[in-house]
Amino acid sequence: MPSDIGYLLMQKDQRLVAPLAATPGVQLIGHTLQACLQDHSLHIQAISALQEVIRADLAFTLMDLTVEAEAVGCSVRFEPQRAPVVTSHPADSQSSLKRLRIPDPYSDGRLPLFLDTVSALSRQLPMPVGAYVIGPFTLAGQMAGVTAVAEKSILDQESAESLLDFAVAAGVAYARALVKAGAALVAVLEPTAVILSPRSFTHLVLPRLRRLFEAIKSAGAFPVLHICGKSTHLLSPMTQTGAQGLSLDSVVSFPDIATQVPPEIALIGNLAPVDVIMQGSQQDVINATRRLLDAMEPYPNFILSSGCDLPLETPLDNIRSLVQVAKSPHAVQQMAGSTSGTIRPSNRRML
């Protein structure tokens, strides 16, 4: 519940640590990412196995930016070990949009699989569970094409707003269902919005995000906004969305922006997911984590996390080190100097 996460954020003696880590858990169960995204029992196994290893303060489901788009009617291409991608845009005209309907989270596409995953994890895991919803501008881009939506936002705002209203209605329905299933936190993924100017974001996206975050809060969960890339130009309107947490990418300097974020909004991030956590050594991860913790020490609203979703190939030892730096620095020092505790992925055949 939002009050629970807010209480933990402000009262815990040590920093909350919640890396956007789910996909690396696939390593532990001997199946492909595609299989886990299409089978909720495998999805549950992957997240449970990962949390048994890293023991973060929050567990996330797999991040899949195509779930809502597929339920709306977009075609999606899957590959065994890569994130799925949208390959068609069923709302490329105003008339085609009118033929679409808001997806039912309990029956359309893979939405029910993610609800089942959240429900099971929220019962089985000792920590709160976080889930994802696609933001309205990003979903609109999937439905009609990013270039088309960008052009409509300038040349045909009425069409753009109709598309965005459809997208936020889909997000509200899915978010409410996720909270009902047991999600304590819902992160709204709005990566495509980074291309917008502050004026366009404020006019087109801000009112829809407010609607979505109000629905999440009223349903009883902690709402977070995640935007990838260099998003500092949008920081002011982001703080006005009603999000209780901002999850920002590693290219954003948290020490530089921390004073611009109201203390009641959590600042979540933002270790580099690829350059540091995936490609770095354990000691690199430990050093980078300590530097960020030291820099953010004056800010009680800071939650330690990765700047974005961790790739499948991320070494599990590196994720565990990130978590342990916040929880037990002495244990991490010992861990980095020994290979005896190395976590090995499953060597079972990938299905």
**pLDDT, tens only, 173-220:** 999 999 999 999 999 999 999 999 999 999 999 999 999 999 999 999
Report yes or no on 177 lying in a domain: yes
Rounded to whole angstroms, the Cα distance separating 223 from 349 reads: 38
Report yes or no on 231 lying in a domain: yes
Report yes or no on 343 lying in a domain: no
Q: For residue 3, what pLDDT is reported?
A: 45
Rounded to whole angstroms, the Cα distance separating 323 from 318 reads: 9
SS3 47: helix
**Residue range 70-90, pLDDT digits in tens:** 999 999 999 999 999 999 999
Report yes or no on 142 lying in a domain: yes
- Count of domains for the chain: 1
Report yes or no on 344 lying in a domain: no
The segments of the chain whose pLDDT lies below 70 read 1-13, 329-351
Q: For residue 7, what pLDDT is reported?
A: 57
Report yes or no on 64 lying in a domain: yes
Owning domain of residue 250:
16-262
Report yes or no on 187 lying in a domain: yes
CATH number reported for the structural domain that contains residue 193 in this entry? 3.20.20.210
Q: For residue 328, what pLDDT is reported?
A: 78
Residue in 130, 80, 79, 78 with CA at minimum distance from that of residue 109: 78
The answer to whether 64 and 133 have CB atoms below 8 angstroms apart is no
